[in-house]
Structure 1
Amino acid sequence: DASASELQWIVDSYMLVFAAVLLTAGALGDRFGRKKALTFGLLVFALGSGLSALADSSGMLIATRALMGAGGAFIMPSTLSILTAVFPAHERGKAIGIWAAVSGLGIVIGPVTGGWLVEHGDWSLVFLVNLPFVAAALLSGRWLVPESLDPAKPRLDGTGFALSSLGLGALVWAIIEAPARGWADGLILVAFAVAAVALGALIAWELRVREPMLDVRLFRNRRFSAASGAIAVAFFALFGTIFFLTQYLQSVLGYGAFESGLRVMPVAAGVVLGGPLSAKLVEHVGTKRVVGAGLALVAVGLTMLSGAEVGGGYGIVAAVLLVLGLGMGLTMAPATESVMGSLPLAKASVGSAVNDATRTMGGALGVAVLGSLLSSGYRAGMEGATQGLPAGAAETANQSLAGALAVAQRLGGGAGGRVSEAAQQAFVDGMHTAVLAGAAVAAAGALLTLLALPARAPLAEPAPA
């Protein structure tokens, strides 16, 4: 059996390697061909999935999940960059809207399917189920996906690759570990410092090298930088909310793991509706207003969630998720099109990698920051509830809602009931603080979007790759 730390890294090793490899993978796709990068990524992802299913130790599973992350880092930039290269400007918004809707479905369908497979079969099926989908993607891509690349065929930027991998990897590691170790922990501060130095060195290097992996001057372009910020804010809210909503559904409302997964589905429905709709709205009112409205809806949804209570029903959760998903759909597609439209098509893969990096950083920060706020509120609410309990039981109950419920079950009777009720109330109170903080971030993002993001793209169309 895996320890709690090993279980965390079975999940997080994917995200860590994915983030570290992203910009390098995007640049290699532009240089050698996006279809080749997609094919390579799918093969690596399939290899990692197969080895994960065969893993006989936690260490091996952590390593094979990291391999899957490396494959994913080649897949994600390639999919969006191929769309950008294939579709002309007047059709690109609709194509990206559909891409965003499918991405939103994946966020929810993956955990739901995985939960069902674990409950009704063996854990290895969670990885084996990937293989037929990868095979279908490889076979269909062979005939349906055209090749595209940077016609200039720039030299490889090895220094840029190394600095981006070190900087992004250290930053994601620090964000993941900070809630458990403490934001002021010495190792966390060192990791943040390493990330700052590496990313600062990357900027300095990319400004002076003749053929940069990523022209960092692009961040002066408000269409590029404001849209990237909007994407980060949206995923900050989404991932942070899903993180504690799952716990609320299971440990407060009493649903099982698979039932909880199903009840998160309205967010996917909202994204599916909002993604394609955003392209039509942009034609009428411009990108700025649509993205701003999307983030405002995210803020509204999170504010609504502050009305959820211990004895509440599922109705408010469903409404919140639908509003949140609709806001995500309205934000993701036009903001992504703005990022991709700011770049020459020859740099579509590395531009897509920047888009994926902002999503990853935003999501990781959402889980870390909002999760830390919830944990702080929970511990404050439990201060008086565990008095009189044995030291070990009190410490376990103060750490998490799941721990408190386990202690309550062992105690039984009135004492167990009191601990359970206090823990659920403390969790909900902490959740209220977290969602209101998330709503404030989303509202600030909406305001900054309205101030900084241009309403329309420039008339000139980048030269095709």
Structure 2
Amino acid sequence: MEVVEKGPGRRRLRGNPWFSLVAVAFGVIMVGLDATVVSIANPFIARGLHANLADLQWVTNGYLLVTAVLLIPAGKLGDRLGRRKIYLIGMAGFALASAGVGLSGSIGLVITFRAFQGAFGALIMPNTLAILRKTFPLEKLNTAIGVWGATSAIAIAGGPIVGGLLVQDVSWQSVFYLNVPVAIIGIIISVLVLHESRETDVESPDYPGIVTLAASLFLLVFGLIKTQTWGWADPKTLACFGGAIVAAGLFIFAEGKVTNPLVPLRIFASRALSMSTISVILNFFAFYGVIFFVSLYLQEVHGYTPIEAGVRLLPLTAMFVISAPLGAVLNHHFGPRFPVTIGMLLSAGGLWVLTSLEVSSNYLLLAIPFVILGLGVGFVLTATSDAIVGNAPSQDAGVAGGVQSTALQIGGVIGTSVLGSVLLDRVGSTLVGKLTHAGVPGALAPKILAAKPLVAEGAVPRIAHIPPALQLAITNGSHAAFLSGLHVAMVVAIAVSLLGAVTGFAIGNKRPSEDQESEMISD
């Protein structure tokens, strides 16, 4: 390892592992805040820019789509050009795109700048893990990732509260402007403390791999996003999924032919890495589905404001602050099998308690499973992140970080799409029954619910130009219908969590043991 220092002060700061962890924490905080504050800002964006429900979906989905497609190429870019450099570009770009969202005067511009946020966010996240991998010795990497996970949890937990305060007392634009000072502080610290690291054997980019992977992820995520509009059996949905499979096959074929693959398939020879990647997908399938629909339950069934709902979600999100470092301790002593398997079983247990929710349920019936679920998700996040990044070769640290972040994103999109479809199907069938009971002919009830214009105000559909008696029938039955759908969705999430416990057991107990030193190139 060759290190070039510039003075004694620089020597104490530059390359210090713990200062480096502080530097990358700002990127994690910025992306974590953005993940939850946007959901709070969406209703205010709709009113301010006269956006409809489809527009608001793309405010979120445009970000997710671009991020999922670019995470692995962004990690590879950091490996080639410099992880510090790409991380700093991501921080600066994310701040500028955030300011662009706030300055936008139309919903089209908001969606466009959200897509840019997704692109720069993709530069940030995999390179945070890669920087930690190249800065910390392997015996301390587990602890660093535990702190990294706890930092992300604090940002996610605080997002609804911070966002609620800003949109109610300042403006929805201020939610996005908040990223600017966070980025400035993070960039200043990063310039002072982060070492540059890159791989010295630089070859031409793997264009076939980039194109086929991007096509596969785009078609998969786009198809999942559109299922609630098209339906799962629609030919367009099936075409997206079929195209994703074909592109994935071409990607695997291409990676076996090039000398410098975008994703070296050799990294998946590690059972721990492969099973951990699957476990991340299953873990966040359950988590994102739960946090989205329980937020609806709090606001639509109990009538809480966004801030009140955010505060009541704290037992779930804030538990990450405890469970992430605790998961790191368990992982250090027992290997990844124990925390991942136990974490997924805890998640299944918390979800099982949520199946008993009713309209009049006491908050304790939410708080207790939130704590259980928060423990489980945090255990899995820390152990799998360490297994993925630590088991990849040192020169592929950025790619490994991209694999972990991509698995997290895909799990979240699949979870919200699948569980959303399950919930909406049950809500629709229950409301059809309510209309029929109110005297509407059975064949006509589904047509009324499908009528346009339709405004879906959270869990309570409101349909224009129908008699008040029918609207009353819909409103009176909506809470019961929502809870019926929520219970079925939780059962599906339980099954996924139990499958995650199986994959967690298959990870094994061996922790990363290779002792590779990274070549640090100081600017």
TM over 0.5: yes
Alpha-carbon spacing, 1:56–1:417, altered in 2? closer, same or farther (3 Å): same
1:461 is matched with which residue? 515
What residue ranges of structure 1 are gaps of 5+ in the alignment? none
* Counterpart code for 2:179: N
| Equivalent residues, number | 463
Name which of 65, 70, 73 aligns with 2:122.
73
Deviation at 1:193, TM superposition (A): 2.0
**Cα distance in 2 for residues equivalent to 1:305 and 1:263:** 15
Deviation at 1:55, TM superposition (A): 0.8
**Cα distance in 1 for residues equivalent to 2:118 and 2:332:** 36
1:443 is matched with which residue? 498
**Would you say the 8 A contact 1:27–1:350 is kept in 2?**
yes
Deviation at 1:418, TM superposition (A): 4.9
Deviation at 1:230, TM superposition (A): 1.0
Alpha-carbon spacing, 1:157–1:394, altered in 2? closer, same or farther (3 Å): closer
2:211 is matched with which residue? 162
Name which of 179, 194, 199 aligns with 2:228.
179
- TM norm structure 2: 0.84
Residues 3-402 of structure 1: matches in 2 within 5 Å? Answer: 3-387=52-436, 388=439, 394-395=449-450, 402=458
- 1:27-78 Cα deviation digits (max 9, x unpaired): 1100011000101111111121111111111111111110010000000011
**Would you say the 8 A contact 2:455–2:463 is kept in 1?**
no
**Would you say the 8 A contact 1:396–1:404 is kept in 2?**
no
Deviation at 1:185, TM superposition (A): 1.5
User: Could you say what the CA RMSD is over the residues aligned between the two structures, in angstroms?
Assistant: 2.2
Deviation at 1:201, TM superposition (A): 1.0
Name which of 486, 489, 498 aligns with 1:431.
486
**Cα distance in 1 for residues equivalent to 2:406 and 2:285:** 12
Among the aligned pairs, what percent are the same residue? 34
* Counterpart code for 2:164: G
Deviation at 1:399, TM superposition (A): 8.7
* Counterpart code for 2:420: G
More displaced 10-residue stretch of structure 1: 200-209 or 150-159: 150-159
Alpha-carbon spacing, 1:407–1:181, altered in 2? closer, same or farther (3 Å): closer
SS at match of 1:73: helix
- 1:130-166 Cα deviation digits (max 9, x unpaired): 1000101111101111111113223322222222222
SS at match of 2:172: coil
Deviation at 1:364, TM superposition (A): 0.3
- TM norm structure 1: 0.94
* Counterpart code for 2:412: G
Alpha-carbon spacing, 1:396–1:265, altered in 2? closer, same or farther (3 Å): farther
SS at match of 1:382: helix
**Would you say the 8 A contact 1:227–1:338 is kept in 2?**
yes
**Cα distance in 2 for residues equivalent to 1:165 and 1:309:** 43
Deviation at 1:218, TM superposition (A): 2.3
**Would you say the 8 A contact 2:328–2:383 is kept in 1?**
yes
Deviation at 1:416, TM superposition (A): 6.0
- 1:326-353 Cα deviation digits (max 9, x unpaired): 1111110011100011111111111100
More displaced 10-residue stretch of structure 1: 11-20 or 185-194: 185-194
**Cα distance in 2 for residues equivalent to 1:12 and 1:164:** 19
* Counterpart code for 2:96: L
**Cα distance in 1 for residues equivalent to 2:455 and 2:241:** 25
Alpha-carbon spacing, 1:197–1:312, altered in 2? closer, same or farther (3 Å): same
2:34 is matched with which residue? none
Alpha-carbon spacing, 1:399–1:372, altered in 2? closer, same or farther (3 Å): farther
Deviation at 1:425, TM superposition (A): 0.6
Deviation at 1:417, TM superposition (A): 5.7
